């Protein structure tokens, strides 16, 4: 931390600041310039910098080390690879996670799993418990939905990711899913973060619609401080002053997260844009920008979907997108899997 004193700060004021920081466990390095005295504070515990800023004679306080530690790139400079069965997230291959917004029926999820797998997806997504903005909207099939997801995924050798909404659902999710999704609305549900951090299950943590990158990494830190280091961060669009699309996809968050953290980065262009005609360009940009995985909504009959039909890709759009993404992945020295023809998997 750097403390810059006002030009006219007195020796007494400077000593007061130094005493306070020493009491907080910092080592102080003082540099007296022609106009300003600058104090470098090293070590010490995590403090609210405003407490120092409010002391008379202090001009500004600049934090130079990140408040998150386990999630920071310095903790694991080579990057984290999350290996689940034969799928590695964070390696050279860009992983496609695809499926419906919500599980509606066994037939629906079976058909979509087949389509996803036939085009190279490795993970089947689908909500069984939905965080709907309105209490009157469809809330998901619950355990039945998780069962259908598991059955469909197993038939096509896919992994399952699904959103967990509260700690009491943990026993259920442990049984059915491979990756626990913590949704954007729950990014700062610290109780949930702590509880999923105690489990031995990878977590896909979505950035909150109004969360900064630092707040997102601090949410990841909550999970990791419980012992679970297999966390991926998902950019799914943030709320800005631009109303045209559902959210604004923060493309720069991808390289920034890759610089600040060792955790794999997932991009969700479906919730970011809210319209299927805008999903493909953002998905392509995300792979070009360095995303390790994509989370995309696909539906076999989006016009009749119970949730987020407008942003769900049609089967042929998904197929075309996968073909393009393979080319983009290659251009940025990555790979993307080709599909498994449905007849091979049965
Ligand atoms: C979802 O992925 O189904 C979802 C609800 O996303 P988000 O939490 O990003 O809104
Ligand atoms: Mn959705």
Distance 61 CA to ligand 1 centre (A): 37
Is-contact 247 272, C-beta < 8 A? Answer: yes
How close are the terminal C-alpha atoms of the chain, in Å? 60
Q: Which residues line ligand 1 (CB under 6 A)?
A: 101, 127, 131, 163, 183-185, 206, 236, 268, 271
CB 342 within 8 A of CB 302: no
Atom of ligand 1 nearest to the CA of 184: 8
- pLDDT score for 34: 87
Round to whole Å and give the CA distance between 231 and 18: 39
DSSP 157-178: T-EEEEE--SGGGHHHHHHH-S
User: From ligand 1's centre to the CA of 162, what distance in Å?
Assistant: 10
Q: Ligand 1: distance of its center to the CA of 124 in Å?
A: 14
Q: How large is the angle between the packed helices 253-260 and 213-225, nearest 10 degrees?
A: 40
Q: What is the pTM of this model?
A: 0.92
Which ligand is nearest to the Cα of residue 187, counting in written order? 1
Indicate which atom in ligand 1 lies nearest the CA of residue 183: 8
pLDDT given at position 342: 63
Nearest to 212 by CA among 267, 250, 259, 164: 250
CA of 8 to the centre of ligand 1 (A): 52
**Of all protein residues, whose CA lies closest to atom 9 belonging to ligand 1?**
184
229 in Cβ contact with 198 (< 8 Å): no
Residue of minimum CA distance from atom 10 in ligand 1: 184
What pLDDT does residue 124 have?
A: 98
| CA angle in degrees (0–180, nearest 5) for 231-236-143 | 65
pLDDT of residue 253: 98
CA–CA distances in Å: residue 62 to residues 66, 71, 117: 11, 21, 49
99 dihedral zone (left: phi>0; alpha: psi -120 to 50; beta): left
Residue with tokens 């600041």: 17
The Å distance, Cα 94 to ligand 2 centre, comes to 21
Which residue puts its alpha carbon closest to atom 6 of ligand 1? Answer: 183
Closest ligand 1 atom to residue 234 Cα is 9
Measured from the Cα of 102, ligand 1's closest atom is 3
User: How remote is the CA of residue 68 from the centroid of ligand 1, in Å?
Assistant: 25
Over its length of 346 residues, how does the chain's per-residue pLDDT go in tens digits? 999 999 999 999 999 999 999 999 999 989 998 899 999 998 888 889 999 999 999 999 998 888 899 999 999 999 999 999 999 999 999 999 999 999 999 999 999 999 999 999 999 999 999 988 898 888 999 999 999 999 999 999 999 999 999 999 999 999 999 999 999 999 999 999 999 999 999 999 999 999 999 999 999 999 999 999 999 999 999 999 999 999 999 999 999 999 999 999 999 999 999 999 999 999 999 999 999 999 999 999 999 999 999 999 999 999 999 999 999 999 999 999 998 776 544 4
Which tokens go with 295? 């989370």
Residue 132: its pLDDT value, please? 87
Does residue 158 contact residue 120 with C-beta atoms inside 8 Å? no
Cα–Cα distances (Å) from 130 to 100, 177, 226, 279, 307, in that order, read 12, 15, 25, 21, 9
C-alpha dihedral (301, 304, 308, 312), degrees to nearest 10: 20
170 φ/ψ sector (left φ>0, alpha ψ -120 to 50, else beta): alpha
As to burial, measured by CB atoms within 10 angstroms (0-12 exposed, 13-18 middle, 19+ buried), residue 220 is buried
Q: What is the pLDDT of residue 43?
A: 86
pLDDT at 231: 98
> pLDDT value at position 343?
55
């Amino acid at each position: 931390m750097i403390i810059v004193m006002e030009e006219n700060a007195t020796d007494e004021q400077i000593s007061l600041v130094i005493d306070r920081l020493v009491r907080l466990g910092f080592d102080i390095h003082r540099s007296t310039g022609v106009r300003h005295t600058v104090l470098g504070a090293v070590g010490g515990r995590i403090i609210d910098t405003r407490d120092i800023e409010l002391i008379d004679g202090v001009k500004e306080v600049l934090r130079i080390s990140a408040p998150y530690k386990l999630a920071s790139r310095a903790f694991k400079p080579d990057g984290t690879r999350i290996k689940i069965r034969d799928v590695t997230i964070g390696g050279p291959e860009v992983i496609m996670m695809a499926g419906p917004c919500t599980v509606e029926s066994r037939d629906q999820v079976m058909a979509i799993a087949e389509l996803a797998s036939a085009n190279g997806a490795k993970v089947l997504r689908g909500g069984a418990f939905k965080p709907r903005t309105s209490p009157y909207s469809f809330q998901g099939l619950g355990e039945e939905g998780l069962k259908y997801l598991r059955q469909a995924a197993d038939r096509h050798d896919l992994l399952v990711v699904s959103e967990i909404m509260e700690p009491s659902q943990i026993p259920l999710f442990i049984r059915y899913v491979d990756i626990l999704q913590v949704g954007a609305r729950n990014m700062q549900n610290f109780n949930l973060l702590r509880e999923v951090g105690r489990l031995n299950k990878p977590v896909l943590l979505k950035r909150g619609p109004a969360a900064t990158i630092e707040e997102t990494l601090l949410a990841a830190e909550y999970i990791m401080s419980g012992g679970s280091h297999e966390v991926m961060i998902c950019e799914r669009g943030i709320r800005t002053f631009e109303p045209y699309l559902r959210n604004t996809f923060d493309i720069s968050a991808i390289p920034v997260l890759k610089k600040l953290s060792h955790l794999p980065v997932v991009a969700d262009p479906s919730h970011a844009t809210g319209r299927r005609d805008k999903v493909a360009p953002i998905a392509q940009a995300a792979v070009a920008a360095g995303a390790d995985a994509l989370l995309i909504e696909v539906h076999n009959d989006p016009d009749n979907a119970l949730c987020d039909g407008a942003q769900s890709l049609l089967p042929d759009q998904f197929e075309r997108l996968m073909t393009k993404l393979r080319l983009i992945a290659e251009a940025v020295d990555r790979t993307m899997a080709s599909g498994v023809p449905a007849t091979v998997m049965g």
